[in-house]
Amino acid sequence: MQKIAIIIPCYNEEKRIKKSDIDYLILNSDVTLFFANDGSKDKTVEAIEIIISNYQERCFLIDFKENSGKANTIYKAINQINKQNQFDFIGYFDADFSTPAEELVSMLNSLKKSEKKFIFGSRILLLNSGIKRKFYRHIIGRIILTLINFKHSLGIYDTQCGAKIFSKEIIKEVFEKPFKTKWLFDVEIFIRLKEKNLLQYGKEIPVYNWKDVDGSKLGFSSSISILKEIGIIAFTGKT
């Protein structure tokens, strides 16, 4: 049986972590959860510890004392877990469960039925889907992908959905060095996969329900930083 670990990166998520989401994920899958605290200033750790107390054999805390950003937190946590050599797959889901727990369970089931080495959620607007994105965030996402594809031609609809799972072999190839960007590290992942001729081993899975959750760190003011990062990887080609 495949053993799967899921990282939930957390920075000041005290008010956004919902026990009901964790309950559903734990009760309807066999994953092990690792909450990676990124130097939170609020009571995120206390909220996580309450959840862990209910699932001590399947929920764990990785407590990074200094804030270093989501990209670096995922990089550090995924390598720390992979070095334990206990899991066949390791992924990450956003703490706000903008991708609902039901969709995440569906993704996990798809992984078990598939021979793919990595899977990732995709917010494709299909008939009768419940994808609810803020307009400016949707536009930013399409601009990012259009500019990136000028150089890299990834052939992917959605690089930014915060639900991705990788085999331990893929992790060794793609997470061997830190990311250069804060907001676009997901894009860096796919560029590295392409450079190593590994995209063929992945599967993009449409999610049918998704919504922007209040309190996101990505706002309109982040657009300038994102444009600078696009320049780093779209025009220099460096990851």
Total Cβ atoms within 10 A of residue 11: 20
Q: Model pTM?
A: 0.91
pLDDT-based confidence at residue 70 (cuts at 50, 70, 90):
very high
Task: Please give the pLDDT value at position 213.
Answer: 74
The tens digit of pLDDT for each residue in 172-214 reads 999 999 999 999 999 999 999 999 999 999 999 999 888 877 6
Q: Among the residues of 14-167, which ranges form H helices?
A: 19-27, 44-54, 70-82, 101-113, 135-152
The tens digit of pLDDT for each residue in 89-103 reads 999 999 999 999 999
Higher pLDDT, 225 or 163: 163
- For the chain, what percent of residues have pLDDT higher than 90? 71
Q: How far apart are CA 150 and CA 111, in angstroms?
A: 31
